[in-house]
Amino acid sequence: MALFRHILFLGLSLLCRTTLVSSHSRHYTTPSVPRLTDLFSHVSVNQSFSNFFGGQNIKLLNNGSMVTLALDKTSGSGLASKDKYNYGFFSAAIKLPAGLTSGVVVAFYLSNADMYPHSHDEIDIELLGNDKRIDWVLQTNVYANGVSTGREEKFYFWFNPTLQYHYYSILWNSHHIVFLVDNIPVREFPSNGKFSAAYPSKPMSLYVTIWDGSEWATHGGKYPVNYKYAPFVTSLADMEMAGCTMNPKQPDSSCSNASLSTIDPVGGLDFAKLSNQQVTAMDWARSKLMFYSYCKDTTRYKVLPPECK
């Protein structure tokens, strides 16, 4: 009997540990959505990006169509687009580092902090390494006009993002910002109504980085990066940047909306609002996978942003 109880205890312990280790072990049937990533051409990494920092940890592969970025004890690494965009569709297929990755942050984001240090805009996809579990977290955020308070929402994945490449995309135009994972919208931030004051509107560059976010990414530094497991390497492919590029000689120029019938993420009618199919998919993602929204964080926000009311 004692032996049976011991075996039962070990079995339950293993089950609990397995449950703790990975939430993406749960099976989800994902909704069908249009594949926006199939609509745009891939760009060459070496032709479209410059080294942002940590050049020694950046490796181009497959004639510049793929790249790996690494974080080690000496430095993280990152790329910045050579062009600045007024609006557009931005996407990459990313495979995240496996193993114990607490404090590691892989970021795919738009920013103009270099041009507007005191009133910058930002649209963020931040992939946060696990703290105690073998789970990555997707964090989305929007900043506008230098407002220090972001508008974060966090999601679990329905897959293991370290096993293969998955698409992470941002659609940004005058109508809305949409965050997508494998073409499934997980969040929409409209430009109208109470959202308008917090809507990014100035030209931005696209950045892809990996860096040490120990101080904030894991409960205020409770689980810092353990460099025993370094280097942490993320791989990127199928990079897409389609939209309105800024003319350096006319920084205040706007995008042309002359053709609304073509596949155009800036002015195309198909990109002005989500389809019914996309709305259904977004509702699925938010109900199943979102576990934090700034609109429900009354501890952090004594007065909730206006769009939350």
Please list the active-site residues.
122, 126
Beta bridge partners of 124: 109, 141
Distances (CA, A) of 257 to 37, 73, 176, 243: 21, 47, 16, 11
CA 137/CA 130 separation, integer angstroms: 7
Q: What is the DSSP string of 228-261?
A: GGPPEEEEEEEEEEEEEE-BTTBTT-------SS
Contacts of 171 (CB under 8 A, 6+ apart): 36, 89, 177, 178, 180, 265, 271
What does R_g of the chain's alpha carbons equal in angstroms? 20
Q: What's the length of the chain?
A: 309
The amino acid occupying position 167 is: Y
First CA to last CA across the chain, in angstroms?
59
